A and B are shown apart, each in its own frame.
Chain A
Amino acid sequence: MSEARIDGKPASLAAAAERAAEILSAARMPVIAGLGTDVAGARASILLAEKLRGAYDHMHSARIFADLDVMRQAGLMFTTPNETRLRADVLLFIGKDLTKIWPAMIARLSPAEIPAFDLAREPRKLLWVVPGRGGAKLEGLAIQTLDSSNLHMTLAALRARAAGRPVSCAKRVLRKLDEFVEVLNNARFGVAVWGGDSLDSLSIEMLHGLIRDLNKTTRFSGLPLGSDSNAAGVVQTSGWMTGFPVRTSFGRGFPEHDTWRFDATRMIESGEADAALWITAYGPEAPPWKKNIPLVALASPQTAFVREPQVRVEVGCPGIDHDGAEFSRETASIVGRLASHRSPAPSVAAIIGEIAKRIGEDASC
């Protein structure tokens, strides 16, 4: 049975929802953070934020905006894992620990196999740009690696060489760069795969520029690996509901988006936010802030909090305890996940529904 606690003491779900509603509606600027939840949970959270005139953010916003800021400043070319698997004759991996970010990457992209829809039916060429030599090993696969201690410089140099421009560097490095560029320019449908914290917006924008340039003569696209805890699904849901991604506030009665102003941790540490609703249905992440503010948590059972939340409800995991729609890295789309071990643990959407109906009027959404 699911557990709810008020000030650390066992409570009924109804009592927990009542207390949560009191805390959140008493706050002047509540913030909904974490947001590790499925589409239904994100939807309920955004409607609650609207009702509370609060703000909402996702725990992986730094990663989200590394990609999204490039898209909305410069644009983006991207493809899907399916297309990558079936067509990519060249795979350009960029960044550390890609298989840690996505353990199924090799199984999904099948780099060892000849791409089924490639006209030339040749083995794929695999390139990897990564700091340090150890980061780019895949069992049994021949990979050309480019050791890059500075991704900005390496990607800029690759782009320059691909465009036939000179770069100033050691001959050995230049030779290596040109080997890479030769493969990139001759790709028929190349895909750059990137992820992780080693790429910031500047590197991603440079990479995007390289991809755009390559498309002047051949086909090339990108496959960003994104973040966990349904970050992309929450961004999509936020997109259709408000027009904006996360880091959006209803403080003035309409959605306003600002990646600095509505950073949940910053709002809490600075004292701008005076209560928080922390949501982690996928894993036991604890809130990242230090300040002690009233906290309602809808969290995985194992979550270890530094301070016991005022209200805590253990929620089920989408796709395990209950059915859920979420953005899947496997397909780069929102898919349905049926419960693998159906349980009575409540969903985030259900608990937020209980909280919301105790606040203000019911708008029947």
Chain B
Amino acid sequence: MLILLKGGRLIDPVNERNENGDLWIENDRIVAAPPGRLADEVHDVSGKIVMAGAIDIHSHIAGGNVNTARLLLPEKHQNHLPNPPSLPLSTAKWSTFETGTIYASMGFTTVIEPAIVPHQALQAHLELSDIPIIDKGTLTVLGNDDFLLSLLREGEGQAAVTDYVASAVAGSNGLGVKCINAGGAAAFKYNARTFGLDDVVPFYGLTSRQIVEALQRAVEDLKIPHPLHLHANNLGIPGNVATALATIEAARGERLHFAHLQFYSYGAEGGHGFSSAAAELAAAVNAAPNVTIDVGQVMFGQTVTVSADVLRQFNGAETARPKKSVIHDGDDNGGGIVPYLYRENDFVNAVQWACGLELFLAIDDPWRVFFTTDHPNGAPFTTYPEIFALIMSRDARAEAIARLPQDAVAMTTLPSIAREYNLNEIAIMTRAAPAKLLGLKDRGHLGEGGLADIAVYSPGKDLAKMFRIAHLVFKDGDLVVRDGRVSRYRWGKALKVNPGYDKVIDRRLAGYYDHHFGVSRDLFAVKENLLPRADAFAEVACAR
């Protein structure tokens, strides 16, 4: 089928277009205007904004910890809306079906679940299979797994580590590698209560720094497009900007992605011993071109923090609201689920909110700062439209700042920042840059041959509304959303890499599982025939 989107403003930073024009779609691809042919379907989008479908690089939408959070908080997601018969479970709050439906209605067409340990990969992919419309992907969590730590302790060399990383990513069908408080979860099992970059994991005698460096190297050696995705040490602690700055240094100029940097942008100044150090941190990011970051913006309201940083979650359990939490010492990272209420009139929460916006606005290069709330940790992804408005409008920020405790505002630079993101920068941050960061050459742009993942928005004074209710959304050339309403389900792929490696490591791993765990490693494999639909995966090439 040939579709014409006629007369929209095409915003495509990859191809340096920001102009009115026509966009043609044939089947699942964007094509050049076909001479002499008439479109089967024409959409007049004059006056509308046309961008590639948005890509979320860090959103906790699947896996055992997310599901535990659902089961922990039934009272927080009571339903009241029946779903249309053609969209089963689409109104069931926090269901996988609702997740895909809401993302699509905002113009998102690819979302990455960033924290799947290998032993939870099958469940994660079962969950992702039930997220309609969008494409998905997972990052494989390593860095607290005993096999890796024992390789490093025994000094087995980078080649063995790299083969192991490849085997773990391939076995869990991941798109990249995430490391969460490297060594911290392992140290917590030995009763450590804090864990910094140069603290040593008992039993293994390794520092967090050594683990991160080995993983970073493995990702580069394997030519996995996405750099190591790092959840650093000391998340959420006053004064932890020192850790973030030291970790940027520790990257030694090599590529490194820092997850939810907002949670590491804290100073310890002022009467509350808590202040924003976001300006200093943004300057360090600006000066380190090897580094990319996502923000992890906080928004006020009820949420639940879901993290495989079990040490941090254990320490945070005291602040749970409602007062209950789950702490899981898993085979590797485990995790913690701690409900939390971010309050506008709370000093610390107000500083956190400002820190995120400072990072958005003070990091100059939109290709290196990514749009996230660390869903649901800083806020649910449903708050994205409000965040777009905040970064695009100084007035919107001023209104929001006026509602905060002014002593908290005084601990930040936010009121002095005049910058407003334009639509081209939004398109970079949420389309072009994520595609580049993840190695997804087929999306994030509107060029010929690109995947026809397209979001059309109706511009207006209400910026949040514009991004909440996409006018039209196409996924693989299928029109799936009209004025924010999903018309029908279709099923996307899970994107994965398949790095080559020396299979000798698999035999060693088989022996390790048999001996240490007493179960076969095959139990944890993500076998495609166990998923509800065939062709669940699409491979992304390992090449840089």
Which residues of A pack against B, CB within 8 Å? Answer: 39-40, 43, 47, 50-51, 68, 71-80, 82-83, 85-87, 107-108, 110, 116-117, 119, 188-189, 215, 218-219, 221, 235-237, 239-245, 252-257, 323-325, 328, 330-331, 333-336, 338, 360-361, 363-365
Contacts and interface: CB of A to CB of B under 8 A. Distances in A.
Contacts of B385: none
Interface stretch (B70-78, B208-216, B346-354, B399-407): B70-78
A33 to B, nearest CB: 20
A215 B96 contact: no
A85 B119 contact: no
Given A72-B73, A235-B71, A79 B85 contact: no
Contacts of A110: 518
Contact of B489 (A83, A117, A365): A365
Given A218-B191, A242-B95, A82 B130 contact: no
A242 B92 contact: yes
A82 B95 contact: no
A119 B488 CA distance: 56
B86 A361 contact: yes
B516 interface: yes
Nearest to B515: A116
A85 B523 contact: no
B202 A333 contact: no
A71 B89 contact: no
B127 A252 contact: no
A71 B326 contact: yes
B94 interface: yes
Contacts of A51: 88
Contacts of B491: 364
B189 A253 contact: no
Contact of B518 (A43, A47, A107, A242): A107
A325 B331 CA distance: 19
B325 A331 contact: no
Given A254-B91, A333-B120, A241 B329 contact: no
Interface of B: 62, 64, 66-67, 70-74, 77-83, 85-89, 91-97, 119-120, 122-123, 126-127, 130, 146, 188-191, 202-203, 314, 317, 320, 324-331, 334, 488-491, 516-519, 522-527, 529-530, 532
Contacts of B88: 47, 50-51, 363, 365
Given A76-B326, A336-B122, 7 more contacts: A40-B530, A78-B328, A108-B518, A239-B70, A331-B524, A333-B123, A335-B523
Given A72-B324, A253-B83, A335-B122, A119 B529 contact: no
Given A86-B516, A252-B82, A254-B81, A79 B123 contact: no
B71 A82 contact: no
Given A219-B189, A328-B523, A243 B119 contact: no
Nearest to A188: B191
A134 to B, nearest CB: 28
A221 B489 contact: no
A333 B89 contact: no
B330 A79 contact: yes
A278 B484 CA distance: 39
Contacts of B120: 333
B519 A241 contact: no
A237 B523 CA distance: 18
Nearest to A217: B191
B87 A77 contact: no
Contacts of B489: 363-365
A117 B203 contact: yes
B202 A243 contact: no
Contact of A79 (B329, B516, B517, B526): B329
Nearest to B96: A240
Nearest to A84: B329
Contacts of A47: 88-89
A363 B83 CA distance: 12
Contacts of A245: 71
A40 B532 contact: yes
Report which residue of B66, B191, B329 has the largest number of chain A beta carbons within 10 angstroms of its beta carbon. B329
A114 B489 CA distance: 53
A333 B119 contact: yes
B106 to A, nearest CB: 20
Nearest to A117: B203
21 contacts: A39-B530, A40-B530, A71-B324, A72-B72, A76-B327, A77-B328, A79-B328, A83-B329, A85-B518, A117-B203, A189-B191, A219-B189, A237-B126, A240-B70, A244-B71, A253-B82, A253-B83, A254-B79, A254-B92, A336-B122, A364-B490
Nearest to A334: B123
A254 B530 contact: no
A50 B64 contact: no
Contacts of A325: 122, 126, 530
A264 to B, nearest CB: 19
Nearest to A255: B92
B523 A255 contact: no
B528 to A, nearest CB: 10
B126 A243 contact: no
Given A72-B72, A119-B202, A219-B191, A363 B87 contact: yes
Contact of B123 (A236, A243, A254): A236
A88 B329 CA distance: 12
B518 A333 contact: no
B73 A336 contact: no
Contact of B519 (A68, A215, A331, A364): A331
B168 to A, nearest CB: 15
B93 to A, nearest CB: 6
B524 A72 contact: no
A180 B174 CA distance: 45
A85 B513 CA distance: 12
10 tightest A-B CB contacts, nearest first: A253-B82, A75-B324, A254-B79, A79-B329, A335-B523, A334-B123, A325-B530, A243-B94, A239-B67, A240-B127
A71 B69 CA distance: 10
Given A51-B88, A83-B189, A116 B79 contact: no
Contact of B331 (A39, A78, A80, A254): A80
Contact of B62 (A83, A85, A240, A361): A240
A323 B329 contact: no
Contact of B64 (A116, A188, A219, A333): A333
A68 B73 CA distance: 11
A342 B396 CA distance: 63
Nearest to A335: B523
Given A71-B326, A82-B331, A253-B82, A331 B92 contact: no
A98 to B, nearest CB: 18
B382 to A, nearest CB: 14
Given A75-B324, A215-B314, A331-B119, A68 B130 contact: no
B318 to A, nearest CB: 11
Nearest to A50: B88
B501 to A, nearest CB: 22
Contact of B79 (A107, A117, A256, A333): A256
**Max chain A C-beta neighbours (<10 A), residue from B70, B80, B81, B491:** B70
A254 B80 contact: yes
A243 B93 contact: yes
A119 B190 contact: yes
